[in-house]
Structure 1
Amino acid sequence: MRATDTIFALSSGAPPAAISVMRMSGPGAFAAVEALAGRVPEPRRASLAVLRDSKGEELDRALVLTFPGPNSATGEDLAELHLHGGKAVVRAVEAALTALPGLRRAEAGEFTRRAFLNGRMDLNEAEGLADLLSAETEWQRRAAGAMMGGAFTRRIEAWRQEALALSALTEAEIDFSDEGDVETQNKDTITTGCICLHDAIDRLVKSPGVEKLRDGLRIVLGGPPNSGKSTLLNALVARDAAIVSDIAGTTRDVIEVPVSIDGIAFLFLDTAGLRDETDDRIEAIGIERTKAAMDNADIILWLGEEGTGPDHPHLIEVEAKSDDPTRKRKGSHALTVSAVADEGMTNLIVVLTETAKALLPPPDQFAVNARQRTLLAQTASGLLEAAESHDWLIIAEHLRQARLTLDALTGRAHTEDLLDTLFARFCVGK
């Protein structure tokens, strides 16, 4: 990839469609428009033009828009051709652009990468955009929108300014520590400032991350054989995802079924029935996998005998098969359901979603990913060490490292490998 290249790509969905949008970005974008349309329209105003190839053959009648840099989406000259969305039209325009000197097809995420490199967005906003493009639920959309909107970046910048002020006090102590007795006062101010900043960042580190929004909360259905797990799973996901049978041990492996309920992504896991002993080696492996699934569960729906489930902070006792008079009864706090008779299912879903909301970041706030959480944790650790130190040089170094990790969060400091990994998540035209 070279920043001096002019790139083009289809930015809309795959044809056929009513409209297909072809984007061009780079120093030769407007020259390409003139080559196809015969003129460069007034900036930011849609203009109807006949597009022709180098032989003068008409390709399409399209709307043409131009956006001069640096005030464009990519920070450089950018143009859009709003074409009729037929496959042949798009192929013909792509062929005409390919034939122009200095133009090449864009790579995945290259438009957004240029926006980042030209200061039109920072790394967090780019990650938020990637999450927004892949969002499938309402909670995912809201969290990605908050990140892309710059709320996280503004908070980082406020923290960076606080760290910078503490660094200035520290440097003043290093330079003028032999001029009077301000050392104690400044040390208290710096210590308090570092601790307050540490606590604010640490709260975000410990808050629910975006991974739960993106991958879905893991809901494990557990209990002994024939307790109704598979029947309940099928009712929750509204399809026959698991085999239902009266034969004990029918489910041998963990069955994963993703589904969205009330705008929240869930991953339901049907598991092998738990029992103390079995002579079936395959069933024994299934039981071990069930235990492993429960260890990694966000919520467990326990269909076994009351009080015999695993020790888990979010275990929900479920009295299944409420239509069966021979079922084992549970206490009043258990949820009574019948997947067959559709009894108690609405209440179960309400309890599930309310429990899930407590495990997810609020839908109107940003949620940090693994990269961001790691850097935030490093920042918080450095601030705590600065607060505990009595050596001005060590304090200054910890504060400097804290500022560097905050810079890495926004992309002020970055590596090419990091950018390659991030922008590879985007489609070619974004």
Structure 2
Amino acid sequence: MSGDTIFALATPAGKSGVAVFRLSGPRAAEALQTLTGKALPTPRVAVKRRLYASTPEGQALPPLGGRVGWGAASDASIHRDAPLPTSPLKVGGEEKIPLDDALVLYFKAPASFTGEDVVELHTHGGPAIIAAVAKALTALDLRLAEPGEFTRRAFDHGKLDLVEIEGLADLIAAETEAQRRQALRQAEGELSSLYESWRGPLISALARMEAAIDFPDEDLPDGLMMLVDETMRILSDEIEAHLADNHRGEMLRDGLSVAIIGSPNVGKSSLLNRLAGREAAIVSARAGTTRDVIEVKLDLGGYPVLIADTAGLRESPDEIEQEGVKRALKRAEHADLKLIVFDGAVWPDFDATVAEQIDAEAIVVLNKAEFAVGRKTAIVERDLLLVSAKTGEGLDALVAALTDKAAKALNPGAQPALTRLRHRAALERCLGALRRGLHAPVVELKAEDLRLAVQALGRITGRVEVDDVLDLIFREFCIGK
């Protein structure tokens, strides 16, 4: 319930130097006062406070001995590295037992992450301290937060929209520099601002249409329909260009998918292990060792790349190997990039079935370079990359080629990138409604298509409000004056 005061450990569980508890809700400030026995600190200023728990009647809590310290004390009664008392004592007329010294912060609503009163307790990160503080908070009738509940409250109080929340989730999950940059731009509202810059003119156009329908006797601007159509046309073009991005943002979130394709025993698994810097795949002289797809995540130039080793392409009576070949072909079909590997030990002979997988974007590698002679072949009108998975020869050139492909495929450019299928589906609905509206035979149908376009954009950020249209009708046209 939104009226509850919730708490959660905001740092990973386990032993650490510092553990951070976050509290949010109408009783957060009261809980801080109860835990410390002191008045609230100045909002947004970190101060040192000793935390206490009430001694349950008839039950002795285990003492917390030892010496703790955060530096210079903010209370005259607390000294740096002063030992914690080992028995209950009177705090504010109540018998309390000390828990820990902590840095505490108070964020007064609405100037907080959730828009509610928020408290942070920065305690020492020992498991016993974490358990004791959690028990004390529960005893104050605070509820343990559900997953994502703090962020949900931020949305409910208008602190974040859905796109910013998704950006925050991506920022937490980011594993490479490029992912971090994209997520930060989204979390800070760049993508939301773009969508709102489209939604605003559409709401204005819809307001004009509603006015023309509902108040035909009012003095409305000349050329109203031409102005609305022009707005719809401009925004249609902008949304269409935004959608024609080759899924860069979505690929950057998930990683560029690369499939290593080749015949058995050409060194695909050895190449994967070289790129990964570890023994990720089993390497054997026995053909058909790789039966399933083996994936490795790489960070190449700050871009995430997911490389998959696949079964060697060949005819085989073995049912399991046949399934492996099917999976290899399926992975090649859906991969963003193919790394085609040929065997330098038998060059210039090559497998025609593998050669059929070469497309314009594929990187073609001749492995076992120590045995290879010549760089060109009739199957591709370009240089091959000569690599030796055994010695490491040519590996830098291969990594450079993969990095260049990743940068070209994933770099979002100046405009914030479309990052989720949910966004894409809503924008496609919006674009479809605008295109229909441009050719609508009657005013009422044009207005309905505009309304659908506004709703589709609003669903991306979580803002779907009829009042936006009503406000503009009365503000711009002064209906009823």
- Name the TM-score, length of structure 1 as normaliser: 0.88
Mapping of 1:373-388 within 5 angstroms?
373-388=424-439
- In structure 1, distance between residues paired with 2:25 and 2:220: 59
2:384 is matched with which residue? 334
Mapping of 1:18-57 within 5 angstroms?
18-39=17-38, 40-55=40-55, 56-57=96-97
- In structure 2, distance between residues paired with 1:405 and 1:260: 35
- In structure 1, distance between residues paired with 2:51 and 2:316: 73
Mapping of 1:400-411 within 5 angstroms?
400-411=451-462
1:94 is matched with which residue? 134
Q: CA deviation at 1:32?
A: 0.7
User: Which amino acid in structure 2 is aligned with residue 303 of structure 1?
Assistant: V
**Are positions 1:344 and 2:388 aligned together?**
no
2:4 is matched with which residue? 5
**Are positions 1:77 and 2:144 aligned together?**
no
- Indicate the structure (1 or 2) with the bigger Cα radius of gyration: 2
Select between 227-236 and 332-341 the one with higher mean Cα deviation: 332-341
Instruction: From 191, 195, 208, give the equivalent of 1:152.
Output: 191
Instruction: From 442, 450, 460, give the equivalent of 1:399.
Output: 450
Name the CA shift for 1:312/1:196 in 2 (closer, same or farther; >3 Å).
Answer: farther
User: Which amino acid in structure 2 is aligned with residue 390 of structure 1?
Assistant: P
User: Which amino acid in structure 2 is aligned with residue 42 of structure 1?
Assistant: T
Instruction: From 266, 272, 278, give the equivalent of 2:316.
Output: 278
1:238 is matched with which residue? 277
Q: CA deviation at 1:337?
A: 1.4
User: Which amino acid in structure 2 is aligned with residue 317 of structure 1?
Assistant: V
Provide Cα deviations, 1:39-69, integer angstroms capped at 9, x if missing partner.
2222222222221111311111112211110
2:308 is matched with which residue? 269
Which runs of no fewer than 5 residues in structure 1 stay unpaired?
415-430
Q: CA deviation at 1:390?
A: 2.5
How many residues align? The count is 410
Cα pair 1:147 1:367 within 8 Å, conserved: no
1:420 is matched with which residue? none
1:204 is matched with which residue? 242
Q: CA deviation at 1:389?
A: 1.8
Q: Secondary structure at the match of 2:171?
A: helix
User: Which amino acid in structure 2 is aligned with residue 127 of structure 1?
Assistant: E
Determine which structure has greater relative contact order: mean sequence separation of CA pairs < 8 Å that are 6+ residues apart, divided by chain length.
Answer: 1
- In structure 1, distance between residues paired with 2:199 and 2:293: 46
1:422 is matched with which residue? none
Provide Cα deviations, 1:84-115, integer angstroms capped at 9, x if missing partner.
221111111111111113x1111111111111
Provide Cα deviations, 1:229-257, integer angstroms capped at 9, x if missing partner.
12211111111222223333222222222
- In structure 1, distance between residues paired with 2:389 and 2:376: 16
Mapping of 1:90-169 within 5 angstroms?
90-101=130-141, 103-169=142-208
**Are positions 1:367 and 2:366 aligned together?**
no
Q: CA deviation at 1:175?
A: 5.7
1:424 is matched with which residue? none
Name the CA shift for 1:60/1:228 in 2 (closer, same or farther; >3 Å).
Answer: same
Q: Secondary structure at the match of 2:20?
A: strand
Q: Which 4+ runs in 1 deviate beyond 6 A? A: 176-183
- In structure 2, distance between residues paired with 1:57 and 1:170: 68
Which runs of no fewer than 5 residues in structure 2 stay unpaired?
56-95, 343-349, 466-481
Select between 324-333 and 49-58 the one with higher mean Cα deviation: 324-333
Select between 118-127 and 211-220 the one with higher mean Cα deviation: 211-220
2:356 is matched with which residue? 309
- In structure 2, distance between residues paired with 1:64 and 1:176: 58
- In structure 2, distance between residues paired with 1:150 and 1:18: 33
Q: CA deviation at 1:182?
A: 8.6
Name the CA shift for 1:78/1:302 in 2 (closer, same or farther; >3 Å).
Answer: same
RMSD over aligned Cα atoms:
2.5
